[in-house]
Amino acid sequence: MTQHDTATKLLDAAEKLFAAQGFAETTLRTITKQAGVNLAAVNYHFGSKEALIQAVFQRYLDPFSEALTRQLNQLGEHEEKVALEWLLGVLVALAVGNSSKEQQKALLFFRLAGLAYTQSQDHLRSFIQERYAPLFKRFLTLLCNALPEVPATELFLRSHFALGSVIFTLQGFGSMQQISEQDFGQPLGLTQVIERLLPFVVAGFRAPYAAS
Amino acid sequence: MTQHDTATKLLDAAEKLFAAQGFAETTLRTITKQAGVNLAAVNYHFGSKEALIQAVFQRYLDPFSEALTRQLNQLGEHEEKVALEWLLGVLVALAVGNSSKEQQKALLFFRLAGLAYTQSQDHLRSFIQERYAPLFKRFLTLLCNALPEVPATELFLRSHFALGSVIFTLQGFGSMQQISEQDFGQPLGLTQVIERLLPFVVAGFRAPYAAS
DNA sequence: AGAGGTTTCAAACGTACGTTTAAAACAAAG
DNA sequence: CTTTGTTTTAAACGTACGTTTGAAACCTCT
């Protein structure tokens, strides 16, 4: 079932450790130890640590990007009259999944995404930018269809605001969970947070637009 | 006017370099070189690199926290009937300032704040948590007063969503500015982005609350 | 001017990193 | 079994890091 070749073991170990500690803070020695392989394996299979980082992201983003493209393609001629809730719902469904195993994977990815934004991995940022920008633009066009009363430049900004809410919230999900539990005695699951996140973002997108 | 003792020079250089490259990626050698002081100065004046990082944040957050506390104190008995817009306006005014020099400083700080959230600087996170959590709680109470129809647990979450939008947007402000300019030909100033950010966040806070 | 405390300095220390190497182990094909 | 190409291994390499050191330079008093 699960491949257990060295490269896969390395990716598994690396994504976990990167998410927990950051890129610069995670050493190849820790990764290879956790993966149970030799130290030299990273350089043999990927070439360098940078290449390993990119490979970790690619393993997440390529399937996601393909699935989203497929969903958007199958809209056909309904592209013009798609609703905001449908668009965001598709994103959530693809990114978060259903099973608790998928959700755990999703949390890991959000953590990684947050890191990618903040840690100064320029190679990674340009890698992602080049590879997935077209899809983002297409999504933005659909957003414009869904909210014709808001200009495109404003929607561009608001999509960044929304992305910020999501990534920021979910990447620090663990610690927020703790605080929430000790302050309000309320256990918070990922599904619950997303259920709260969606109305917030939807309301933000639908905010009345006032030109300045 | 401006102090030019070694410690200040170090803080100035460090905050710039940290913001540009992250904590782990910035070496004491780079910092001391940029500050024009000896390599040993950091350990002499601050004790360690970790302590320097904390000092950078403290220099930002202490004045901000005091100013905010002062503003809230002077509310007196009007605390009960304060408006959401007023609360957020105070935050913006204190955090961003008026002059372009203040705004540049503010952008630097937002970048640092983003780093603090994502880079695994546990010492820094607990330092901030302990030092400024009470003020955050107080602010949350005022939020509850301003939005009595939304339960406290929900407002706790929504304040995190909002914080995410703000920090995420402003910490990557530079690169977003570039994309926006080349895609829409529209130059974006910090003030303009904040003018757009506020309605988004306000709408999010005011989103109709539906219990699950 | 000189004593005492503080700050700076060049140099070095020990450690940990990413990467390389060359030999060993392994796998597949003749 | 031998050969050929691939993968794994232990060890080492070179570099860069944070930190420490002890002497020099600089103050600030009397």
pLDDT in tens, B149-166: 999 999 999 999 999 999
The pair of three-digit structure tokens given for residue A40, joined into one six-digit string: 């030299």
Give the pLDDT confidence score for residue B1 in this predicted structure.
40
* Count of C-beta atoms within a 10 Å radius of residue A26: 21
pLDDT tens column, B97-154: 888 888 888 888 888 888 887 775 678 888 888 899 999 999 999 999 999 999 999 9
Helix (H, G, I), strand (E, B) or coil at A75: coil
Q: Which amino acid is at B92?
A: V
Q: Does B123 touch chain A (CB under 8 A)?
A: no
Convert the pLDDT of each residue in A70-97 to its tens digit: 999 998 888 888 999 999 999 999 998 8
Give, in Å, how far the C1' of C10 lies from the CA of B25.
Answer: 25
Q: What is the pLDDT of residue B2?
A: 46
Residue B168 has a pLDDT of 86
Task: Compute CA distances B102 → A147, B96, B99, whole Å.
Answer: 35, 7, 5
Q: Where are the domains of chain A?
A: 1-47, 56-205
Sequence-separated (6 or more) residues with CB below 8 Å from residue B107: B170, B173, B190
CATH of domain A1-47: 1.10.10.60
Per-residue pLDDT at A119: 72
Q: How distant is the Cα of A99 from the closest Cα of chain B, in angstroms?
A: 20
Reduced to 3 states (helix: H, G, I; strand: E, B; else coil), residue B180 is: helix
Based on the number of CB atoms within 10 Å of its own CB, is B5 exposed (0-12), middle (13-18) or buried (19 or more)? exposed
Q: Which of the 8 DSSP states describes residue A152?
A: H
Asked if CATH classification 3.40.640.10 holds for the domain at A56-205, the reply, yes or no, is no
CB contact burial A114-138 (16+ within 10 A = b; e otherwise):
bbbbbbbbeebeebbeeebeebbee
Whether residue B194 is predicted with pLDDT greater than 80 in this model: the reply is yes
Q: Give B66→chain A minimum CA distance, Å.
A: 24
Q: Which residues of B48-62 are buried (b: 16+ CB within 10 A; e: fewer)?
A: ebeebbbbbbeebbe
What single-letter DSSP state applies at residue B208?
P
Q: What is the pLDDT of residue A120?
A: 60
Query: Using alpha carbons only, what angle is made at residue A126 by residues A122 and A129, rounded to the nearest 5 degrees?
Result: 140
Task: Check if A1-47 and A56-205 are the same fold.
Answer: no
Mapped onto helix, strand or coil, the DSSP state of residue A83 is coil
Supply the pLDDT for residue B3: 53
Structure tokens at A172: 């620090």
A2 has pLDDT over 80: no
Average pLDDT, chain B: 89
Whole-number pLDDT of residue B37: 97
- Residues of chain A with Cβ-Cβ distance to B156 below 8 Å are 180, 183-184
The CATH number given to B54-205 is 1.10.357.10
Model confidence at A175: pLDDT above 60: yes
The residue-averaged pLDDT of A27-52 equals 97
SS3 B147: coil
Whether A156 and B180 lie within 8 Å, measured CB to CB: yes
What pLDDT was estimated at residue A15? 96
- Residue of A18, A118, A123, A176 to mutate, interface with B, max B Cβ within 10 Å: A118
Are residues B129 and B61 in contact, defined by beta-carbon separation less than 8 angstroms? no
DSSP conformation class of B25: T
Chain position carrying tokens 């970048």: B111
CA distances from B109 to A48, A130, B41, B121, B148 (A): 33, 28, 24, 16, 32
Query: Band of the pLDDT at A129, cuts 50, 70, 90?
Result: confident
pLDDT of res. A3: 54
Q: Which residue would you say has higher pLDDT here, A180 or B20?
A: B20
B211 SS3 class: coil
Percent above pLDDT 70 for chain A: 97
Query: Residue A48, CB, less than 7 Å from strand C?
Result: yes
A158 in B contact zone (CB under 8 Å) = yes
Contacts of B173 in chain A (CB under 8 A): none
Q: What is the pLDDT of residues B67-99, one digit of tens each?
A: 999 999 998 888 888 999 999 999 999 988 888
Smallest CA-to-CA distance from B19 within B110, B124, B128 is with B110
Q: What is the mean pLDDT of residues A1-29?
A: 89
**Is pLDDT at A1 greater than 50 in this prediction?**
no
User: Which phi and psi (to 5°) does residue B33 adopt?
Assistant: -65, -50
